[in-house]
A and B are shown apart, each in its own frame.
Chain A
Amino acid sequence: MKNLKYLFVGIFFGLVLTKGEAISWYRIQEMFRFEAFHMYGIFMTAVPVGALSLFLIRKLDLKTVGGDPIDMPVKPYHHGVIIGSLIFGFGWALTGACPGPLYAQIGSGFTVTVATLSAAIFGTWCYAYFQKYLPD
């Protein structure tokens, strides 16, 4: 099972999101109301650590543990980056969860988040269905 290692990275990621309270609906409300530094602090430390890691991977020309080359993520611009992101922001304010926390919330005992996750899957399907009618 060559994918098993990603299960452990997932457990790590889910654990940190949960213990860091990034899956908390309360923390998201507080963040959007600018009433605490907590969530901003998470972003402002996660991104430099990620950026420094990417810099080192490139600088030292590191390979994967299997010896394969590592390519850098590229995120091209399209208008959906604005339109879609705003729509997601509305949903984030309502559910208090981005997609990662949806999974972690279910694990943490809020089984009703299965309904929210199902709605998110349906939303993704609807985007795929209406994609050709929407501005890119």
Chain B
Amino acid sequence: MDFLYKPWPWYVAGPLIGLTVPLLLLLGNKKLGISSTLRQICAACIPARLPLLTYDWKRESWNLVFVAGVLMGGALGGIVLANPNAVAISASTVDYLKSQGLNDPNGLMPSELFNWSSLATMKGFIVMIAGGFLVGFGTRYARGCTSGHGILGLSALQWPSLVATASFFLGGILFSHFILPYIFAL
């Protein structure tokens, strides 16, 4: 059972992620997509008569149940079956992050950056709050995220999803190389 606690290699995790696509389709003709749940929550709580948020969100409530499951899956994988060791990222990434003032990896996330008191610092606020805002704004603008475009859209050979996925990466690569160092320096 040791393999359950160890991190799963990409050639195990990747195919299993891909299998979510047919699983949802065969169970109920549902399309994999997570960013739509952010829209669902807005539509349920504060629709404000905005066209994008005025629709019968209850008809799509399956996806809220789905993400409740994703949260529970996170607990199963990250607590019950937690990897006792730090994430084994490459030595060059570790060196780089240390040069930017971060500690050695000690879990899935740098706890010195992702904690409640860090929210009150400029760095923590930008990383978590501004970052979260961009994720929510950008994915709705793109009408999909890494799951809806990157996995489902690409699997369905939809070229706009290829444009979207390439743009996700372009944005992330540019930001990581040219802007993130200034934020780490705060």
Verify that A and B bind, or say they do not.
Answer: yes
Interface residues of B, dominant DSSP: helix
Complex contacts, B17 vs chain A, CB 8 Å? 13, 16-17, 20, 22, 42, 46, 49
How many of A's residues come within 8 Å of B, CB to CB? Answer: 118
Which residues of chain A from 65 to 116 have any CB-CB distance to chain B below 8 Å in the complex?
65-66, 68-78, 80-100, 102-113, 115-116
Chain B interface extent, by class:
35 or more
Which residues of chain B from 1 to 53 have any CB-CB distance to chain A below 8 Å in the complex?
4, 7-31, 34-35, 37-39, 41-42, 46, 48, 50-53
Interface string of B66-87 (1 = CB under 8 A from A): 1111111111111101110001
B127 & A94 in contact (Cβ 8 Å cutoff)? yes
Q: How far is the CA of A40 from the CA of B146 in the complex (A)?
A: 13
B19 & A53 in contact (Cβ 8 Å cutoff)? yes
Interface residues in chain A, defined as those with a beta carbon under 8 Å from any beta carbon in chain B: 3-33, 35-51, 53-54, 56-57, 62, 64-66, 68-78, 80-100, 102-113, 115-129, 131-132, 134
Interface residues in chain B, defined as those with a beta carbon under 8 Å from any beta carbon in chain A: 4, 7-31, 34-35, 37-39, 41-42, 46, 48, 50-53, 61-63, 65-79, 81-83, 87, 89-90, 92-93, 96-97, 105, 108-110, 113-116, 118-119, 126-161, 163-177, 179-180, 183
- Please give 20 more A-B residue pairs, beta carbons under 8 A apart, in addition to A53-B19, A75-B161: A16-B16, A16-B20, A19-B81, A20-B10, A27-B89, A36-B89, A54-B21, A57-B26, A64-B29, A85-B149, A91-B131, A94-B127, A94-B180, A95-B132, A99-B136, A99-B146, A106-B71, A108-B74, A122-B132, A124-B41
